[in-house]
Structure 1
């Protein structure tokens, strides 16, 4: 599912390629749905390096710095998340891998309570926050990690 840049002229589409064992983040120009940049983030083999590709078939396009920075911030987050969870205990790695593939690395607010119940049933409570952050970048209270510290109880 694409998520738009605040100006609405650009969007990022995130998808997982099972044969490549990698996440693809595509920066698209909304008008004409034209792909401008693709980042490939392998998540199964830490020895494989992430790459960024520009389409040689497409004509040159100026991308505003703010938009490219936004895209690269998302790529950096995906690299950080993809690499960190691979070092956890094998049983947690299996749960996170399944969740990331099933939900493509994100879950909307309406679906989150259902997924939270599913994760609670699959992992010990002490590991709940770690699994949710690795799978979706969220905390058990539903806030995203990028929103800053979790509110005090």
Structure 2
């Protein structure tokens, strides 16, 4: 489920997914887009959905030697407010920590 935030009247989304080819978690930041009008009658339906990601953090979780990286994916200019970028980077830092902790715990369980 994406996380949504509104800043200065614009909607932003953060979405997590696992990229099997990269053995990595991806954290994507996008500008959220309105949900289809047909969802208006559905109770608790989302009002906005993630749009096309313009910043993606890739966090490897299989090889601790690989560094997390941030990719900028945009054909046009995006202005990202500081508060939104800070929110995104907090989410990235938390995911990096989870991946590193899981790797350490997995390595220690393998030795036992």
- What is the TM-score of this pair, normalised by structure 1? 0.54
Richer in strand (by share): 2
2:95 to 67, 72, 78: 78
Q: What residue in structure 1 maps to residue 52 of structure 2? A: 34
Structure 2 gap segments, 5+ residues each: 35-50
Q: What residue in structure 1 maps to residue 72 of structure 2? A: 54
Task: Give the 4+ runs in structure 1 shifted more than 2 A.
Answer: 89-93
Q: What residue in structure 2 maps to residue 88 of structure 1? A: 105
After superposing the two structures, state which structure 1 stretch, 4-13 or 74-83, moved more.
Answer: 4-13
Richer in helix (by share): 1
- Listed one character per residue, the Cα deviations across residues 84-139 of structure 1 (whole Å, up to 9, x for unaligned) are 1211255868xxxxxxxxxxxxxxxxxxxxxxxxxxxxxxxxxxxxxxxxxxxxxx
What is the CA distance between 1:14 and its match in structure 2? 0.5
DSSP-derived class of the 2:89 partner? helix
Q: What residue in structure 2 maps to residue 13 of structure 1? A: 15
Structure 1 gap segments, 5+ residues each: 94-153
Question: What is the distance in 2 between the residues matched to 1:17 and 1:11?
Answer: 18
Q: CA RMSD in A?
A: 2.1
How many residue pairs match? The answer is: 92
Q: Which has the higher contact order (CA 8 A, sep 6+)?
A: 2
DSSP-derived class of the 2:66 partner? coil
1:69 to 77, 86, 89: 86
